[in-house]
Amino acid sequence: MAIMKPDHLTGLNNVNGAAIHVAEDYASTSRAASEWLAGAIQAKPDSLLCLATGASPTGTYAGLAERCAARPELFRKVRYIKMDEWGGLPMDDQASSEFYLRKHVLGPLRVDEQRYFAWNSRPLDEAAECRRVAGWVQSNGPISIAIIGMGLNGHVGFNEPSDSLPCGPHVAELSLMSQQHSMLGDQKGKIHSGYTLGMDDILRSHKILLLVSGASKAEPMRQLFSRQITTRFPASLLWLHPNLSIFCDRASTSLIQE
């Protein structure tokens, strides 16, 4: 796979052991990432994929759907786990992570219920729900590939900036920034908590695929590439992983200096 090198990023192919793939734009980034994922699935047909939601992975999921239409056998054994969910939303609400994944992943990739595991957005007992998810991950993990994005404040899933981060699946108090996420639509400001895998769950994955695109992510990317590891910017903990691949576009890298 070719790695494009914008003039200001010449030589930025490998940082702290991470593979950096810089493409021209969102579409090119998504195509490259879906190609990378398809190769990883071919190498391990029963891979367990951790699925993020939002704009960042949508194009990549579309690329996988195209490959599934052409080669459905490639995806028949792949397993999936939902990374996070908005607390309190009905599972069929169009703003929910569940609705997003059924539209962009589970339907197009023809995923049967036995190969998909998800948070319940309205559990009767939140602590019991976290234990249920933790038990499933322990029995069925570790995650093969965590597909993730990065929030404007550096959050990963609903692991929000803090002096410390909870271990394992947990209930997260959402930052004001997350409460205004574009995915929420009319629900903006009404959702104050979420359910998420912990950063430790993500860091135990065999591989991590970070997807970042757009000028709005230029400042977060600058912070990420300062390589200062802190829980106040959770994405910085990704540098601790031995098999991190970052797929990004030129606009998101505009503030990075070698």
Maximum Cα–Cα distance across the chain: 54
Q: Confirm whether 84 is a catalytic residue.
A: yes
Q: Quick one: tokens of 255? A: 């503030």
98 noted as active-site residue: no
Its sign, for the CA torsion 94, 68, 34, 160, is: positive
Residue whose pair of structure tokens reads 């499933």 in the numeric block: 136
Active-site pick, 160, 170, 181, 249? 160
Instruction: Exactly one of 21, 85, 104, 155 is catalytic; name it.
Output: 155
In angstroms, what CA-CA distances link 16 with 20, 31, 252? 10, 25, 19
Q: Is the peptide bond before 6 cis (omega within 30 degrees of 0)?
A: no
DSSP 49: E
* 10, two tokens: 């010449």
- Would you state the structure tokens that stand for residue 12, as one six-digit string? 């930025």
Q: 121: closest CA among 99, 106, 137?
A: 99
What is the length of the chain? 258
End-to-end C-alpha distance for the chain, whole angstroms: 22
Mark whether 160 is an active-site residue.
Answer: yes
**Contact of 77 with 114, CB cutoff 8 Å:** no
Residues 35, 153, 200, 206: which is the catalytic one? 153
Residue 126 designated active-site: no
Name the residues annotated as catalytic: 84, 153, 155, 160
